[in-house]
């Protein structure tokens, strides 16, 4: 089944509004996106569908079709009568259904009151029109109200679907859709019939008082047994809750057991960082010396080159020779270095030096030496930079490890550890006490059942011969009771298996983390337990996106098990989602829409976050805006073309 269109008249922000969910027959997807800013009316559009079908909201406060709050605010400026209408056009396997709900209100001096006139009509393509109660019955057959929690969702409901309150609703719905509620009612009715037959047993006049006493005692035992059964169920629920909580605490304690490991890791990493910091300092000191030497030469290199180039034609055999020393050497005719008598060759060299009229001279030897020195120092500098890079990489790597370990340690507190151990101890004591109580209540029930049979046997002994037919009826009822009890047990197992198989099938198709959930099981009261491969309960540890997948897998399983083919409508399903899960959920909605219609309502910011993906996957996109009169209109509409 799919919604073809919704038409609203004077419903809240929608004074005159119609939206169509177009889909071509050759399209695989049936995925529709409604985009609007906060406060424009996305939630109220979802509630309009609920109001039309059931006369009440699912997440809002309106509980009856005649509530004046459904009336458009602009109508308060117009005195007189106003009719609020919501019209749904549904398509189910080529059969069209039209559902119309309307309520009449009167406005006087900006105040609306209900005229207590509300009508519901249901019609199909052949022209059959049903009104009010008949229409309500037909809608109930098509889209049961008890199941609406399985096809209307908001972000919060997706996240807390399996909490305690919802668990009670789920149990109720499963019992109702599987017929277990009827079987249990029938079982109770048979018990009352049996009690009535026992009262009809005829006895002699002198045994009447004894019969009355036995009947009173039997009633009291039945009441006690019923109370014990009720308390037993309560204790079973408490036991399940305590076990789940104990699982969570044990999981936390497992993390806390790593405290000492993390501490050792922390110390080891800090020591390694310290060693590399020392290496870094040593390298930096060497590099500083090299750079200093290098810069000393390089800063004066232009002057060195200038002097060298000016004097390179001289065949230099002397190092730096100040002018005064050359003059003294020529005067004394002695070598300025070894003091040997100057021969003509060296004398000519010194005279040539002196004739240059320079303060000092640099030799070719020294020039070549300095050039070589620069190259050597540059090579050393590069090598030190390479070593420094390796050391800095190691320091960064160990700092990241340090942050990770510190984060793990920050989540572990000694006070919390003590608190968790104490709670664990309390829960273990509580579970032991509950198990004792369960054992006690089971023994009580067995005792009461034994007493029941003994009293029934005593009543049988008191009976006169003309009570044989009554005993035949009692026997028949008892046999029927046993058949019903076996049927309840078998049907309970069947529906559990059926729904669980569908959930697992859906999880396999929809969950992107394939090894996250290893198994799902129902408890005795249809509370869902979710396990990892180590048999740890992980429901409370699932992320928002993962819970959304589980919730929709469950909803789809409920649709299939109940035989209801309804669309799924979600108001802000991405509100509590972040990271990779955002796009994964959008892809999941698209995947589900190949089997049933999906309509999601998101904000403009949520739309922009994945605009490219949504434009690629959505069948239609409607962007809603509110005009100056506070009325909602469709500002833009995108329909995916299929070639």
Mean pLDDT of 630-638: 91
3-state secondary structure at position 227: helix
Question: Domain for residue 369, yes or no?
Answer: yes
- Domain span including residue 398: 269-408
Contact call for residues 89 and 78 (beta carbons, < 8 A): no
Number of H helices, E strands in the chain: 17, 14
Q: What is the pLDDT, as a whole number, of residue 149? A: 87
Q: Which of 547, 598, 540, 613 shows the shortest CA–CA distance to 577?
A: 547
Res. 411 pLDDT band, cuts 50 70 90: low
What span, in angstroms and rounded, lies between the C-alpha atoms of 208 and 65? Answer: 57
10 falls within a domain? no
Mean pLDDT, all residues of the chain: 85
Residue 402 lies inside a defined structural domain of this protein: yes
**What are the Cα distances from residue 229, in Å, to 224, 314, 444?**
9, 120, 9
Share of the chain above pLDDT 70, in %: 88
Confidence label for 338 from pLDDT (cuts 50, 70 and 90): low
Q: What angle do CA 435, 441, 444 make, to 5 degrees?
A: 145
pLDDT for 314: 46
* Residue 344 belongs to some domain of the structure: yes
d(CA 260, CA 268): 12
The candidate with the shortest Cα–Cα distance to 32, out of 599, 606, 634, 552, is: 599
Q: Measured between alpha carbons, how far is 148 from 566 in angstroms, rounded to an integer?
A: 9
pTM of the model: 0.66
For residue 440, CA distances in Å to 104, 362, 444, 449 come to 59, 110, 6, 14
Measured distance CA(64)–CA(72) in Å, rounded: 16
> Residue 287 belongs to a domain with what CATH number?
1.10.287.510
**pLDDT at position 165:** 61
d(CA 501, CA 524): 17
> Residue 316's pLDDT is what?
44
**In-domain check, residue 89:** no
> Would you say residue 302 lies in a domain?
yes
* Mean pLDDT confidence for 378-391: 87
pLDDT tens profile 197-252: 888 887 777 788 888 888 889 889 989 998 998 899 888 888 888 888 888 888 77
What pLDDT is stored for residue 487 in this prediction? 94
Domain count, the chain: 1
pLDDT category at 613 given cuts 50, 70, 90 is very high
What are the distances in angstroms from CA 203 to CA 172, 210, 220, 269, 474? 44, 10, 21, 91, 16
Two tokens, residue 631: 């009325």
With beta carbons less than 8 A apart as the criterion, state whether 13 and 41 touch. yes
Query: Residue 173 CA to chain centroid, in angstroms?
Result: 24
Q: 465 pLDDT exceeds 80?
A: no
pLDDT digits (tens, 9 = 90+) for 555-596: 999 888 888 889 999 999 988 787 778 889 999 999 999 999
Condensed to tens digits (0 to 9), the pLDDT of residues 124-155 reads: 876 778 999 999 999 998 898 988 888 898 88
Does position 496 have pLDDT exceeding 50, yes or no?
A: yes
Nearest CA among 372, 378, 369, 365 for reference residue 294? 378
- Predicted confidence (pLDDT) at residue 453 exceeds the cutoff of 70: yes
Query: Checking DSSP bridges between strand 2-11 and strand 80-92, what pairing results, if any?
Result: antiparallel
What angle do the packed helices 180-199 and 208-256 form, to 10 degrees? Answer: 150
**Does residue 366 lie in a domain region?**
yes
Whether residue 384 has pLDDT greater than 80: yes
Position 407 confidence tier, pLDDT thresholds 50, 70, 90: confident
Q: Tens of pLDDT along 510-538?
A: 888 888 999 999 887 788 889 988 888 88
For 286-319, write each residue's pLDDT tens digit: 888 887 776 666 555 554 555 445 554 444 444 4
**19 near 599, Cβ under 8 Å?**
no
Closest by Cα among 586, 583, 589, 588 to 567? 589
Maximum separation of any 2 CA atoms in the chain, in Å: 169
**Helices 468-510 and 180-199, interaxial angle, to 10°?**
170
pLDDT of residue 164: 63
């Amino acid at each position: 089944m799919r919604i073809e269109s919704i038409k609203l008249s004077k419903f809240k922000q929608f004074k005159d509004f119609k939206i169509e969910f177009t889909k071509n027959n050759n399209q695989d997807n049936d995925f529709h996106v409604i985009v609007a800013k906060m406060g424009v009316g996305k939630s109220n559009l979802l509630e309009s569908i609920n109001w039309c079908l059931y006369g009440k909201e699912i997440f809002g406060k309106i509980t009856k079709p005649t509530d004046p709050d459904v009336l458009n605010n602009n109508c308060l400026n117009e005195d007189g009568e106003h009719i609020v209408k919501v019209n749904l056009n549904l398509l189910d396997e080529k059969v069209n259904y039209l559902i119309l709900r309307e309520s009449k209100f009167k406005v006087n001096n900006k105040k609306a009151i209900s005229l207590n006139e509300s009508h519901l009509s249901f019609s199909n393509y052949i022209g059959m029109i049903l009104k009010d109660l008949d229409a309500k019955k037909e809608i109930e057959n098509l889209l049961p109200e008890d199941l609406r929690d399985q096809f209307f969702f908001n972000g919060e409901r997706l996240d807390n679907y399996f909490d305690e309150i919802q668990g009670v609703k789920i149990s109720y719905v499963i019992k109702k859709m599987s017929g277990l509620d009827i079987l249990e009612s029938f079982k109770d009715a048979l018990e009352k019939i049996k009690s009535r037959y026992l009262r009809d047993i005829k006895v002699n006049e002198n045994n009447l008082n004894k019969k009355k006493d036995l009947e009173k005692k039997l009633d009291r035992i039945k009441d006690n047994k019923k109370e014990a059964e009720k308390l037993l169920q309560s204790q079973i629920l408490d036991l399940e809750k305590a076990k789940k909580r104990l699982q969570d605490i044990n999981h936390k304690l497992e993390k806390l057991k790593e405290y000492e490991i993390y501490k050792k890791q922390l110390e080891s990493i800090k020591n390694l960082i310290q060693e590399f910091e020392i290496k870094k300092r040593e390298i930096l000191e060497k590099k500083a010396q090299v750079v200093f030497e290098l810069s000393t030469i390089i800063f004066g290199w232009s002057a060195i080159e200038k002097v060298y180039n000016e004097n390179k034609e001289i065949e230099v055999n002397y190092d730096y020779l100040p002018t005064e020393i050359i003059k003294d050497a020529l005067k004394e005719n002695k070598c300025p270095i070894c003091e040997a008598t100057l021969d003509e060759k060296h004398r000519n060299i010194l005279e040539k030096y002196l004739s240059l009229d320079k303060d000092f001279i640099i030799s070719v030897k020294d020039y070549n030496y300095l050039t070589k020195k620069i190259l050597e120092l540059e090579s050393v500098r590069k090598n030190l930079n390479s070593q420094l890079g390796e050391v800095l990489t190691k320091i960064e790597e160990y700092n990241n490890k340090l942050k990770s370990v510190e984060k793990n340690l920050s989540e572990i507190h000694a006070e919390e550890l003590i608190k968790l151990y104490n709670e664990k101890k309390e829960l273990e004591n509580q579970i032991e006490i509950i198990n004792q109580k369960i054992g006690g209540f089971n023994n009580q029930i067995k005792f009461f059942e034994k007493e029941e049979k003994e009293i029934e046997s005593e009543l049988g002994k008191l009976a006169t011969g003309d009570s044989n037919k009554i005993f035949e009826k009692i026997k028949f009822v008892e046999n029927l009771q046993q058949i019903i009890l076996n049927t309840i047990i078998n049907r309970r197992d069947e529906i559990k298996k059926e729904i669980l198989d569908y959930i697992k099938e859906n999880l396999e198709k929809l969950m992107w983390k394939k090894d996250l959930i290893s198994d799902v099981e129902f408890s005795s009261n249809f509370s869902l337990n979710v396990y990892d491969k180590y048999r740890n309960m992980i429901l409370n540890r699932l992320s928002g996106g993962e819970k959304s997948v589980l919730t929709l897998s469950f909803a789809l399983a409920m649709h299939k098990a109940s035989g209801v083919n309804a669309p799924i409508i979600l108001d802000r399903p991405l509100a509590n989602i972040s990271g990779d899960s955002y796009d994964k959920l959008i892809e999941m909605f698209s995947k589900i829409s190949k089997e049933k219609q999906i309509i999601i309502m998101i904000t403009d910011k949520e739309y922009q976050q994945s605009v490219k993906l949504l434009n690629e996957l959505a069948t239609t996109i409607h962007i809603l805006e509110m005009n100056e009169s506070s009325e909602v209109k469709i500002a833009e509409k995108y329909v995916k073309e299929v070639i």
